[in-house]
Amino acid sequence: MPRPMPIRPPRGRAAAAVLASAVCFLSTTAWTATASADQVLATTPAGIDILSTPDTTQSCSAPQTVSAFAALGDLRDYVLAPGGDFEQKSLDGWQVTKAKQDGDASSLVVNEVESENSLKIPAGGSATSPAMCVDLYYPTLRFMAKSQGKGQLNVQVVYPDSDNPVFHDAGSISAGSKNWGATADVPVYPERGGVDPGMRRVALRFTSVAAGGDTGDWKIDDLYVDPKRL
């Protein structure tokens, strides 16, 4: 079984400074909504809309589980994040800056279906998913990633229905192998959407940060959230 890409939790002021600089850059850049008919659930202080799509509704009412990483020895059930396979031509509901679909897909096969596309996030670029429903028993997410350069990929979560819909740091991935690999578990922090039982909506954000003057380009694919089996 391939060794998963390690996840580094946020580290105090240094990590905050890196993410803050990324937010400042991105907040001045035009964000692209890929489906104007989608419902805006909230707008973050950085000016990023969090959207609801038909996939959002399905994740709240009838989430479809699959053993997405079974081929890698991970037999847990997962729910695909809205558009998280990046096969839809419109990237429905994703808010992106500089990021775009790429034909270099991961080799992960889910339900005997091979992926054809991924999402490329160049250095300084970012992508925010549509919302999906999770509850207190959806503790982590996992995805396939591939690095090009020496930068890192920062992962954040935002709960649009909370009183203060801001991005919270979930972790970061450092560049390693240039081949596709599955990440380790990344926390979703569902309690940030409220401590009461039941569903709450969350969106996921990925920001590519260059390091040492290198490109820091990333590609991601097969984005799944893990509902813990009780």
Domain definitions of the chain by residue range: 12-226
DSSP state of 214: S
Query: Tell me, what's the pLDDT at 176?
Result: 72
pTM score, two decimals? 0.84
Q: For 176-212, how does the pLDDT look when each residue is reduced to its tens digit (9 = 90+)?
A: 778 999 999 999 999 999 999 999 999 999 999 987 7
Confidence of residue 9 (pLDDT cuts 50, 70, 90): low
Answer positive or negative: Cα dihedral of 80, 76, 193, 125: negative
CATH class of 12-226: mainly beta
Q: Contact 94/127 with Cβ under 8 angstroms?
A: yes
Q: Note the maximum CA span of the chain.
A: 46
Model confidence at 31, pLDDT cuts 50, 70, 90, reads very low
Task: Express each pLDDT in 136-169 by its tens digit.
Answer: 999 999 999 999 888 899 999 999 999 999 999 9
Q: Which residues of 207-220 are buried (b: 16+ CB within 10 A; e: fewer)?
A: bbbbeeeebbbbbb
Q: Which residue has the higher pLDDT, 17 or 201?
A: 201
